[in-house]
Amino acid sequence: MTEKNLNRPLEGKTAIVTGGGTGIGLAIAARFVEAGASVLIAGRSKDVLGKAAESIGAVAVPTDVTSEESVKALITGAVSRFGGLDVIVNNAGVTGQVAKAEDLDIGQWDETMAINIRGTILGIKYAVPELRKRGGGAIINMSSLMGLRGYPMRAAYTATKFAVIGITEAVAHEVGVDNIRVNALCPGAINGELMQRVIAARVKAENRPAEEIIRVNYTDKAALRRWVEPEEVADVALFLASDASSSLTGERIKVDAGRM
């Protein structure tokens, strides 16, 4: 591999990142642009998405990942604009309700299932034929540490992230013959706005100070004694999208600062 390719391992490739307007998704999209890819970011908020795309040099495509027609249009649009598709990151997701099972709002439960699970499988459904046309590619699904073990008061989110792991393993065996790799990222507690909303909900539900919740339940449980930054997840996503991970498929990779 030439030095140029090492510096820009996605040169000439096209990537889609759903939920790409903020947080981890935006960090991944920015890293992919730096690596040479043509990147489309998808999300529900047109204004947020447009500003994010402009800031990193990506293309914004307002998308509802729970809508089959919307996801199909996202992927066909990417192919029409850039000539093909090489990578999709199914990152769009919501945290779900922070509550005991007996207190769950089933409407919110259904929304969490639709965005986190249906959104992932729709992205896969319409990406696979296009990746196959390119002779292979990479699918990266966003799971979580809560896709590896249950966590109290997070039944909805946990259920969806376990499902993402199952989808990843099943589809990896379906499409490996086409040189399409399917892997899952399992981030731990990520520094940012999303995590702050979770902390605020826990403060209200548990009647404990935010500082105590952060220390006892998050940072002190990590071997590195800190949060994970979105850019650190983006670095691993780039690895999974590039030829550097050419033999990896069906894997779940933790990015969690050593959460115990």
- Residue 134 forms part of a structural domain: yes
Strand partners, 155: none
Q: Tell me, what's the pLDDT at 60?
A: 98
Q: Tell me, what's the pLDDT at 140?
A: 99
Q: What is the spatial distance between Cα 62 and Cα 160, in angstroms, rounded to a whole number? A: 23
Q: Which residues of 110-125 are buried (b: 16+ CB within 10 A; e: fewer)?
A: ebbbbbbbbbbbbbbe
The CATH number assigned to the domain holding 11 equals: 3.40.50.720
- Residue 200 forms part of a structural domain: no
- Residue 45 forms part of a structural domain: yes
Q: Could you give the percent of the chain with pLDDT greater than 70?
A: 98
pTM above 0.85, yes or no: yes
Q: Could you give the percent of the chain with pLDDT greater than 90?
A: 82
Catalytic residues: 157
Do 54 and 112 form a contact (C-beta atoms < 8 A)?
A: no
- Residue 233 forms part of a structural domain: yes
Q: What is the spatial distance between Cα 117 and Cα 65, in angstroms, rounded to a whole number? A: 10
pLDDT digits (tens, 9 = 90+) for 11-59: 999 999 999 999 999 999 999 999 999 999 999 999 999 999 999 999 9
Kind and range of the H or E element at 43? strand 38-43
- Residue 20 forms part of a structural domain: yes
- Residue 260 forms part of a structural domain: no
- Residue 75 forms part of a structural domain: yes
Number of domains making up the chain: 1
| Average of per-residue pLDDT across 149-173 | 96
- For 120, the domain range is 3-188+229-255
Kind and range of the H or E element at 186? strand 180-187
Q: Residues near 91 by Cβ (< 8 Å), separated by ≥ 6?
A: 17, 18, 19, 20, 24, 25, 28, 140, 142
- Residue 18 forms part of a structural domain: yes
